[in-house]
A and B are shown apart, each in its own frame.
Chain A
């Protein structure tokens, strides 16, 4: 069965530190990849997505992610985090050829940025 693994469950960083959150998936076919973020007290929202083309994807708020097909990975990065990046981050994947669009989420990573 298709699955998504986020290896870092809880990450604590100081402001200005660099961030990389790991995401691996288990499906070998064409995939669409997403990162969603949930800020405290807010709803989940899209950070960035990949469906084709350049494997380095830029998202909102200075985030980027790189799709490495050979490693089945879609890691999220930010060169310098801010206190306002404190949130839950969810990686998600689905079959690119599916008609139904079932999106599989990872367990999420809690990022805490200390001022």
Chain B
């Protein structure tokens, strides 16, 4: 049973399109995250939700919109895709926020390629 699952694993699309990545965790965690890993391997936090409430919203273009319908799901929708959006997007969850030394459990990542 996968603890944090993301779909799709690979996504290839044209500039200007809109796409979504879904994430689900079955760990019963309250906090979920989206991270972006660029071509230089830097992992940067984009968003974090705690109990469906947005608690971290980094400087991310407003083309990116997270949605948390419930504690177990955090989806990422991207409008008007640009070449620079190509990256690996990781979903993660934690039982407590990482500020209380909570361990992050990561999904396998979704590789987005914008042509």
> What is A's interface to B at a CB cutoff of 8 Å?
32, 34, 36, 42-46, 49, 51, 88, 90, 92, 94-105, 107-108
Do B107 and A102 touch across chains, with their CB atoms under 8 A apart?
no
> Which among B35, B101, B108 has the highest number of chain A CB atoms within 10 Å?
B101
Q: How far is the CB of B108 from chain A (nearest CB, A)?
A: 5
Residues of chain A within 8 A (CB-CB) of B92 are: 44
Report the interface size class on chain B. Answer: 20 to 34
Residues of chain B having any CB pair with chain A under 8 Å: 4, 31, 35, 40-45, 48, 55-56, 58, 90, 92, 94, 97-109
Q: Is the CB of A43 within 8 A of B45?
A: no
Partner of A105, one of B31, B43, B94: B43
Say whether B41 contacts A32, CB under 8 Å.
Answer: no
Q: Min CB distance, B29 to chain A, in Å?
A: 12
- Alpha-carbon distance A38/B90, docked complex (angstroms): 12
- Which 7 A/B pairs are nearest by Cβ-Cβ distance? A101-B97, A51-B101, A101-B99, A101-B98, A105-B43, A98-B99, A44-B106
Is A97 in contact with B99, judged by CB distance below 8 angstroms? yes
Residue of B whose beta carbon sits closest to that of A42? B108
Given that A90-B43, A107-B41 are known contacts, is A101 also in contact with B102, CB under 8 Å in the complex? yes
Other than A32-B98, A46-B103, A103-B104, give 19 A-B pairs with Cβ distance below 8 A. Answer: A32-B101, A34-B98, A43-B107, A44-B90, A46-B104, A49-B101, A49-B103, A51-B100, A95-B99, A98-B97, A100-B56, A102-B45, A102-B48, A103-B98, A104-B45, A105-B35, A107-B41, A107-B42, A108-B42
Residues of B within 8 A of A94 (CB): 98-99
B106 with A100: CB separation less than 8 A: no
30 contacts between A and B (CB under 8 A): A32-B98, A32-B99, A34-B98, A42-B108, A43-B4, A43-B106, A43-B107, A43-B108, A43-B109, A44-B104, A44-B106, A46-B104, A49-B101, A90-B43, A92-B43, A94-B98, A94-B99, A96-B101, A97-B99, A99-B55, A101-B56, A101-B100, A102-B56, A102-B99, A104-B45, A105-B44, A107-B42, A108-B41, A108-B42, A108-B43
Nearest-neighbor residue (CB-CB) of B3 within chain A: A43
